Structure 1
Amino acid sequence: MNNTGAVNATPSSQALHYRNFTAADIPTAHTLSMVCGWPHRPEDWQFAAEQGTGFAAEENGVVIGTALCWKYGTERGSLGLVIVSPEHQGRGIGRKLMESLLEELGPRITFLHATPAGRPLYEKLGFNVCDTLQQFQGNVGETLPVTLPDGERLRAATTADFPTLIELATRASGLERKTMLSALLEMGENVVLERDGEIIGFSNLRRFGRGLVIGPMVAMRSPDDLRAKALIGYWLNSREGQFIRIDVPSGSSLADWLVAQGMKCVDTSVKMVRNAPAAAHQGAPDPVYRLYGLVSQAMF
C-alpha cells in the first residue's frame, strides 16, 4: 500500500487525528464495514489497501473512519470505502477524509460510486453524476444455455493471455489496468472468449464478500450482449446453490437475462466524476469493447 505521510488534526480536535491507513487497520475497517451492512471480508480490504492509498480517522486510539483511493496512471483515479462510524457521523469526519483523498489524487479525473447517504457530500466536493450501476446477486439456480456463433468458443485463460486481457480491460474501462489486473488475474479464475483464435473477451471469478464475484468482465459488443451472457454462463454452470455477485454498468441488456438465471437486482447506485464534465463520461468509453462487470464499485 502506498503511503504519503500523516494528515494533521486541527488544534481544536487533539483527540481526533487523521493518518495513513495501514494493514494494521484492516480488522477495525472490516468491523466498520460490517456495521454498514457491506459484505467485504478482511481479505477484500487487504486487496483494496494493497492496490491503493488510504487514510484513517482515529480518536483516542480507535479508528472511527476510513477512506481509500486508487491511481490509474497519471490522469485518472477512483475512490471508495469511505466509512465513518455511525456514532461519530455529523462531525465533518467524512468530509476531512474525502479532502485527504482528493489532495492525494490531485488533478486526476476521479470517479466514485455513491451511496444515497454519501452523494450530498460528494456533490459539495465537485462530483457530478455521469452514469448508473446495477448490482445483481443471488444463489445460482438452473442456468439457461448460451449458444455462441460459429468460430467463437470459451476456454480457460493461461498466463500467456494476461497481457491481452489487461489491454482489453484498459480499453473497455478507460482506466490503466496493468497493476490491478495483474494481481486479480493471479488470484482468481479466468476464462477467455476467442473468435478464430483471437481473444475478444474475458471474465474473472474470485472470492469476494458473501461468496463469489464475476468481474472484471469485458467483451466485444454483440447483438443482445450474447458474448457477455456466455462469459457469465460459463461461471454459473455447475454452480447451482452458490452465491454469486456481478456489478453491471448501465447500457447493457443483461438485466432480464440475469433475473432469469435466478439473480436479483439488489441495488442501483450512481457513478460520479470530478475534474471533468459529466457528459464526457456518460456511457461506455470504447465503441468496440464493453465493460460488463466491474472489479468492484470502489476500484471499478
Structure 2
Amino acid sequence: MNDDCVVSATPSTQALHYRNFTPADIPTAHALSMTFNWPHRPEDWQFAVEQGTGFVAAENSVVIGTALCWKYGTDRGSLGLVIVSPEHQGRGIGRKLMELVLEELGPRITFLHATPAGRPLYEKLGFNVCDSLDQYQGNVGETLPVTLPDDERLRPATITDSPALIELATRASGLERKTMVSALLEKGETVVLERDSEIIGFSILRRFGRGQVIGPVVAMRSRDDLRAKALIGYWLNGREGQFIRIDVPCGASLADWLVAQGPKCVDTTVKMVRNAPAVAHRGAPDPVYRLYGLISQAMF
C-alpha cells in the first residue's frame, strides 16, 4: 500500500488515516496494549516489528490502532497485535487494519490466534478455526525431575547448531523459520537435546512480558512427551518463584505436569487459517517432530 491511506468522508473520520507502522510508533502501541492488560514490553513490540511489518490507524496524528504481520517463505504468513483503542471501536478501524495486513500477505496461507472479541471479524474475513492452544503462566514452584534415556542428553546450544535448529523448527511448525529462529538464538538462551550426537530437540528461554517465556520448544515425539518435558524442565529447574509463560498447542500431554510445577492454564485460544481448508491444518504438521511451545501467539 502507499505510506498513507486517508479516510475523510465525514467529520468523525476527517482526521483518520492509515499508514505503515514505524519504530517510532512502539511507545504508543505499547500504551495501547497496556490498555487491554497485554503483557508486552516495549522490547517485545520492537522484536515483533523487526521481524515483520504492519500498519497503524492514526487520528489527529495519534495512533489509535495497530495490526502486524509476518511472512514465512513464499507461501505462509501470520498476523497479530491487532488492537483498536476502546474509545474508537465500532468505527470499522479494526476491519480496515485487517484488510491492510491481508493485502500485504496476499494469497499466502495465513494463520492467527483469535480472542473471543476478534473471532467474529476474522470469520467474516475468511478465517476458519483449525486448532487451539493453551496458555500457561505463573510462578515456578517445586520442580519435578525428568529422566532421559541413557543415550540422550541436554546441553547448551552452540553457533554451529543453528542449521539443525532451523530445520527442526521448520518441520515442527510447518513454517519457514530461518530468519525467526536466527533472531531468537541471538536474543535468548538455547538448550538442545542430543541423541548419539544427533540433535532431536531444542528450546529457547527469553525475556518477555512479566517474566520469561519458554518457546519455541521442538522435540522428537516420545512416550508421555518426555523429551518436551525435559526441554521445558531444564528452564524451570532453579527458577522457583520466577514468572514463566509457555503457549502449548493442543494435543500435547503436558497439562498436569506443567500445573504441578506452578504455571497454570489461564486461557485457551483458537487458531484460525485463511486461504486453505481448516481440516488440512488440524494437528501437528510433521509426524516425527512436534512443536510443544510457541514463539508467541502472533509469530507462532
Deviations 1:61-111 (A, max 9, x none): 100000000000110000000000001000000000000000000000000
Q: Counterpart in 1 of 2:132?
A: 132
> Unpaired segments of 5 or more residues in structure 2?
none
Map residues 209-228 of structure 1 onto 2, 5 A cutoff: 209-228=209-228
Q: Counterpart in 1 of 2:176?
A: 176
Q: Counterpart in 1 of 2:232?
A: 232
Q: Counterpart in 1 of 2:158?
A: 158
Q: Counterpart in 1 of 2:259?
A: 259
Aligned sequence identity (%): 84
For residues 160 and 2 of structure 2, the distance between their equivalents in structure 1, rounded to whole angstroms, comes to: 38
Out of 5, 9, 12, the position equivalent to 1:8 is 5
Q: Counterpart in 2 of 1:42?
A: 42
For residues 167 and 123 of structure 1, the distance between their equivalents in structure 2, rounded to whole angstroms, comes to: 32
The alpha carbon displacement at 1:150 in A equals 1.6
* TM-score, normalising length: structure 1: 0.98
What is the alpha-carbon root mean square deviation over aligned residues? 0.7
The alpha carbon displacement at 1:5 in A equals 3.4
Asked if 1 retains the 8 angstrom alpha-carbon contact of 2:8 and 2:16, the reply is no
Asked if 1 retains the 8 angstrom alpha-carbon contact of 2:134 and 2:249, the reply is yes
Report SS of the residue matched to 1:8.
strand
The alpha carbon displacement at 1:8 in A equals 1.5
The alpha carbon displacement at 1:11 in A equals 3.4
For residues 50 and 229 of structure 2, the distance between their equivalents in structure 1, rounded to whole angstroms, comes to: 31
Report SS of the residue matched to 1:258.
helix
Which letter does structure 2 place at the counterpart of 1:223? Answer: R
For residues 7 and 193 of structure 1, the distance between their equivalents in structure 2, rounded to whole angstroms, comes to: 48
Q: Counterpart in 2 of 1:149?
A: 149
Asked if 1 retains the 8 angstrom alpha-carbon contact of 2:7 and 2:15, the reply is no
> Unpaired segments of 5 or more residues in structure 1?
none
Which letter does structure 2 place at the counterpart of 1:157? Answer: A
Report SS of the residue matched to 2:172.
helix
For residues 204 and 181 of structure 1, the distance between their equivalents in structure 2, rounded to whole angstroms, comes to: 10
Q: Counterpart in 1 of 2:106?
A: 106
Which letter does structure 2 place at the counterpart of 1:220? Answer: M
Which letter does structure 2 place at the counterpart of 1:209? Answer: G
Map residues 177-192 of structure 1 onto 2, 5 A cutoff: 177-192=177-192
The alpha carbon displacement at 1:196 in A equals 0.9
Asked if 1 retains the 8 angstrom alpha-carbon contact of 2:156 and 2:190, the reply is yes
The alpha carbon displacement at 1:262 in A equals 1.1
Runs (4+) off by over 4 Å:
none
For residues 262 and 297 of structure 1, the distance between their equivalents in structure 2, rounded to whole angstroms, comes to: 21
Map residues 64-75 of structure 1 onto 2, 5 A cutoff: 64-75=64-75
Asked if 2 retains the 8 angstrom alpha-carbon contact of 1:151 and 1:196, the reply is yes
* TM-score, normalising length: structure 2: 0.98
Asked if 2 retains the 8 angstrom alpha-carbon contact of 1:7 and 1:100, the reply is no
Deviations 1:154-180 (A, max 9, x none): 000001101110110001000000011
Deviations 1:246-270 (A, max 9, x none): 0000000001110011110000000
